[in-house]
Structure 1
Amino acid sequence: MSSPTPDPLLGPAEIRDLSTKLGVRPTKQRGQNFVIDPNTVRRIVRTADVRPDDVVVEIGPGLGSLTLALLEAADRVTAVEIDDVLAAALPATVEARLPARADRFALVHRDAMLVDELPGPAPTALVANLPYNVAVPVLLHMLATFPSIRRTLVMVQAEVADRLAAAPGSKVYGVPSVKANWYAEVKRAGSIGRNVFWPAPNVDSGLVSLVRRTEQPATTATRAQVFAVVDAAFAQRRKTLRAALAGWAGSAAAAEKALVGAGVSPQARGESLTVEEFARIAEQHATGRQEASA
C-alpha cells in the first residue's frame, strides 16, 4: 500500500522549522505575521478565484505559505519580497515542496513600492497577505502600475479592510476607500482570525476583494488631479468642502466654483461623495484654470 502524498503546504511545524534554520524572527518593523494554517491559505486562493491561466503577483511572501497554495492553482506566480533572508530562501522552499511547479515561479527581491516591472507575462491577479504597516500604499501602487491586474484579493488588518471597502456616508469612508474605488469595485470578502498567524497579531484580519473596473470614472481629469482633491477633502474631515478645498483650489471662492460646477453642495463633506463626484470637482477646477489662462 502506497503512502499518502505529503501536503506540500507549510504547517506550524514546517514554518517554525524553516524560521529556525534561517534564523528568522518576524519583525513588527516590516509588519510580518506568517500564516501557519494550510486551510487558511487554500481558502484565500479559493476566495481570490485564482484560475489555471492566471499569472499571480504576490507581495510579501514571507516563508512561502501562500506562495505554495497559489502555485498549486495558478499558471505562474511572481513573489515580491524585500527581506534579504526570506528572498534568498524562498526559491529553495518552492523547489523542495513543489518541484513540478518550480519553473512557474519567479522572485523579485525588491521593495514593492519601487517595483515598476515584473518578469514574464503581465500579471492578471494580485493575491497577498500584505504587511499591515504598508498595506494601502502598496495596494494602490500595484493597481496603478499594473493595469493588467483584473482581480485582487488582499488580507489586511480588519480596520483597514473596513476602510477600503467602505461606501460613501460611512464613518470609516476616507482616502483609501475613494482611491481603491477609482480602480475597482471593492468589497469585504471574509475575516481571518488571529490564531492562524505566527506570531499572532493583536488585531483581526480581513479579506478585501477588488475587481478592476471595465471603465474608470468618465472624466477629463487625470488620476493625479482627482487624488489631489481627495487628499485635500479628507485632510480636514470636519470642514465643509468649501473650506477644506480652499487651499487646493487657491481660495474658498475657487473651491465653491468648482463644487457648484460639479453639482456638489459647497456645504457637503468629503465622506458623502462618490469617486465620480470627486472626479467632476477635479475636472471643473482644471477646466476653470484653463479658461482663466486662455
Structure 2
Amino acid sequence: MTSPEQSPATQPLLGATEIRRLAEEIGVRPTKTLGQNFVIDGNTIRRIVTAANIDPEETVLEVGPGLGSLTLGLLDAAKHVVAVEIDPVLAAKLPETIAAFRPEKVGSIDVVLSDAMRVTELPAQPTALVANLPYNVAVPVVLHLLEHFPSLQHGLVMVQDEVADRMVAGPGSKTYGVPSVKGAWYSHMRKAGVIGMNVFWPAPKINSGLVGFTRHEPPATRASREEVFAVIDGAFAQRRKTLRAALAGWAGGAAQAETYLRQAGVDPSARGEVIDVAAFARIAEAKIPMTA
C-alpha cells in the first residue's frame, strides 16, 4: 500500500517477487499463445513511463496490462488509464491489484475485457497509447488503434526489437516495408530505446525495442486510406519485383500500372522499398478518375 503523498518516483512498483505471487494467486502462467512476457523490473517501468512523456491530465490507453506492472506506473503519471485485457482472469485481478498498491487510484482506471484488435469503442477517449505489446500482433494492434481512435495523439509501445526497427524504418532501409509505410500514414515513428531480456518473466529470446510515435495528418490525397493501403500491400507482396510488375494485379495489368506510376511521378522500375508514403498516396490517387 502507498500513501497519496508519495511522488511517482518513490511509489512502489511490482518486482519479480510480487509478479510471481500475483500470478500464483490466480493460477496464471505466462503463455506463448497470448505473447505474455511480464515486466518484473520497476526501473524499466519508470524508464518507459518517462519516455512516454505523459501529461498529468491525459487519459492513457494500455493494451495487455497483464498483472499490472506498467499499469501502476501509468496511473502515477496520468489522470486516467483505460486498460484493455484479453485474458478474463487477468482482467478480473487487475482492479484488486490497483486497490492494494494504489488505493487512491481505484477510480482512475477502466478495465476493458476485450481483444484489442476488436475494440472500436472505449469508456474514455485516450490521448496516448503506452503498452508492452504481444510480439505476434504488435503492428496490427497499433495500426488498428490509430485507425479507430483519432484521439490518440502520441504513444510509446514496447515490441520485439526487430519489429521496432521495421516500424521506424525509412525508405531505402533494408527493414523498410508494410509496417513502416502504414505507420507513417498516421504518425512519425521513432526508436526510443532498447530493453534487455532479463527484465521480463519469462525472459524472451530477443531484446525489446521502444517505439515512440506522434500523430500527424496523412498525406493530402483524394484516395482513401483503404485505397492507399491496397497499393502498399501490392508493392511489398513480392519485394524483388519492380513496382510496374508488383502492381500489375492491382492496376489491371503491367501497362496500366506503369501509366499510374508515371502519373504519380514514380519510376516504374523502382521498388516499393525506396518510396515514401506520400508517393504511395499519389499512386493510389492516379487510379481514381478525375471528376468533372
Q: Same fold (TM over 0.5)?
A: yes
Whether the aligned pair in 2 keeps the contact of 1:8 and 1:98 (CA below 8 Å) is: no
Quick one: which of 173, 176, 192 aligns to 2:176?
173
Question: Identity, % of aligned pairs?
Answer: 63
Q: Structure 2 CA distance, aligned partners of 1:235 and 1:275?
A: 16
Q: Structure 1 CA distance, aligned partners of 2:119 and 2:241?
A: 37
Q: Structure 2 CA distance, aligned partners of 1:171 and 1:8?
A: 42
Aligned positions of 1:40-59 closer than 5 A: 40-59=44-63
Whether the aligned pair in 2 keeps the contact of 1:157 and 1:203 (CA below 8 Å) is: yes
Quick one: which of 16, 23, 26 aligns to 1:19?
23
- Report the AA paired with residue 14 of structure 2: L
The alignment partner of 1:56 has SS state of strand
Q: Structure 1 CA distance, aligned partners of 2:150 and 2:12?
A: 32
1:164 paired residue number: 167
- Report the AA paired with residue 166 of structure 2: R
Quick one: which of 229, 232, 246 aligns to 1:230?
232
Whether the aligned pair in 2 keeps the contact of 1:15 and 1:63 (CA below 8 Å) is: yes
Matched, 1:192 2:195: yes
1:268 paired residue number: 270
The alignment partner of 1:63 has SS state of coil
Q: Structure 2 CA distance, aligned partners of 1:286 and 1:177?
A: 24
Q: Structure 2 CA distance, aligned partners of 1:8 and 1:98?
A: 9
Q: Structure 2 CA distance, aligned partners of 1:186 and 1:21?
A: 39
- Report the AA paired with residue 188 of structure 1: K
Quick one: which of 211, 229, 243 aligns to 1:241?
243
Quick one: which of 111, 114, 117 aligns to 2:115?
111
The normalised TM-score by structure 1 is 0.95
- Report the AA paired with residue 50 of structure 1: I
Post-superposition CA distance 1:60-106 (Å, at most 9, x none): 00000000000000000000000011011001101111010110100
- Report the AA paired with residue 213 of structure 2: L
- Cα distance, 1:8 vs. partner? 3.3
Post-superposition CA distance 1:253-285 (Å, at most 9, x none): 111111000000000000001000000000001
Matched, 1:62 2:66: yes
Whether the aligned pair in 2 keeps the contact of 1:182 and 1:275 (CA below 8 Å) is: yes
1:250 paired residue number: 252
1:183 paired residue number: 186
1:209 paired residue number: 212
Post-superposition CA distance 1:103-136 (Å, at most 9, x none): 010000000011001003x110000000001000
2:104 paired residue number: 100
1:138 paired residue number: 141
Q: Structure 2 CA distance, aligned partners of 1:65 and 1:242?
A: 49
Whether the aligned pair in 2 keeps the contact of 1:240 and 1:268 (CA below 8 Å) is: yes
The alignment partner of 1:230 has SS state of helix
- Report the AA paired with residue 17 of structure 1: R
The alignment partner of 2:194 has SS state of strand
Post-superposition CA distance 1:131-181 (Å, at most 9, x none): 001000001000000011001100000000000000100011000000000
Unaligned runs of 5+ in 1: none
- Moved segments of 4+, more than 6 Å: 3-6
The alignment partner of 1:24 has SS state of coil
The alignment partner of 1:153 has SS state of strand
RMSD: 1.5
The alignment partner of 2:193 has SS state of strand
Larger % of helix: which? 1
1:124 paired residue number: 127
- Cα distance, 1:252 vs. partner? 0.6
Post-superposition CA distance 1:188-224 (Å, at most 9, x none): 00000000000000011000011001x2211110000
Quick one: which of 218, 221, 235 aligns to 2:220?
218
Unaligned runs of 5+ in 2: none
- Cα distance, 1:9 vs. partner? 1.3
The alignment partner of 1:79 has SS state of strand
